[in-house]
């Protein structure tokens, strides 16, 4: 099994540095262009099916990357982005500095805002998705596209990284928009072949 795990294209909230989380934002013009370029680069990859976060920005990225291919696309809430609860939509500059510092640089100290998710929660639900997909007998020899979000992608990859830990959650950085992580799974062993590849 080979998995192409992609973060969605750019949105206006990315540009404005606003917390998106579970908010259902759309791709901006640049985000559409990035997804199309990525789709062109992956046009020869024989995708069997696609799993996508149900949020518009991920679904649209998947649609543009697949570029008309007639394959099954399955929305799955388990790979939706982390929720920031009451802080969704707020500009980064208006947030407590410690919140962003902990979220991106000291993840072991991060505490979710009211109504939001902890990192342990997104790791738990993406792990359930991971174990489900990678154990399906009919998918063992298939190539699959997974369209998701920055934090959700890193949570998924906790099942792959040899040095996985809450302290090293981001593995050096947030995945770039339309960044692709390519993972091979054989006999329950996952190997990261490419990390955060961009084609633009």
Indicate whether 68 pLDDT > 90: yes
148-189 tens-digit pLDDT: 999 999 999 999 998 888 999 999 999 999 999 999 999 889
75-88 tens-digit pLDDT: 999 999 999 999 99
Average pLDDT score over the chain: 96
Residue of 194, 145, 163, 149 lying closest to 9 (CA atoms): 149
CA 98 to chain CA centroid, nearest Å: 24
Residue 8 annotated as catalytic:
yes
Look at residue 97 in the predicted model and tell me its pLDDT: 87
138-149 tens-digit pLDDT: 999 999 999 999
- Of the candidates 60, 81, 117, 149, the residue annotated as catalytic is 81
Residue 138 annotated as catalytic:
no
- Of the candidates 8, 10, 149, 171, the residue annotated as catalytic is 8
- Quote the CA–CA distance of 147 and 110 in Å, as a whole number: 25
pLDDT class for 126, splitting at 50, 70, 90? very high
Look at residue 134 in the predicted model and tell me its pLDDT: 97
Average pLDDT over residues 91-95: 92
- pTM for the model stands at 0.97
- Quote the CA–CA distance of 165 and 157 in Å, as a whole number: 11
């Amino acid at each position: 099994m080979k998995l192409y795990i992609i973060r969605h294209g750019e949105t206006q909230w990315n540009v404005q540095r606003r917390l998106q989380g579970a908010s259902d934002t759309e791709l901006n013009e640049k985000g559409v262009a990035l997804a199309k370029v990525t789709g062109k680069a992956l046009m020869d990859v024989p995708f069997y099916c696609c799993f996508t976060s149900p949020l518009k920005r991920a679904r649209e990225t998947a649609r543009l990357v697949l570029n008309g291919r007639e394959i099954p696309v399955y929305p799955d809430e388990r790979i939706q982005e982390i929720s920031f609860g009451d802080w969704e939509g707020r500009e980064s500059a208006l947030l407590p500095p410690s919140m962003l510092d902990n979220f991106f640089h000291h993840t072991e100290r991060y505490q979710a805002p009211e109504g939001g998710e902890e990192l342990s929660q997104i790791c738990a639900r993406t792990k359930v998705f991971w174990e489900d997909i990678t154990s399906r007998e009919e998918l063992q020899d298939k190539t699959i596209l997974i369209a998701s979000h920055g934090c959700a992608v890193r949570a998924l990859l906790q099942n792959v990284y040899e040095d996985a830990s809450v302290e090293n959650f981001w593995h050096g950085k947030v995945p770039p928009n339309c960044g692709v992580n390519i993972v091979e799974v054989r006999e329950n062993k996952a190997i990261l072949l490419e990390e955060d590849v961009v084609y633009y």
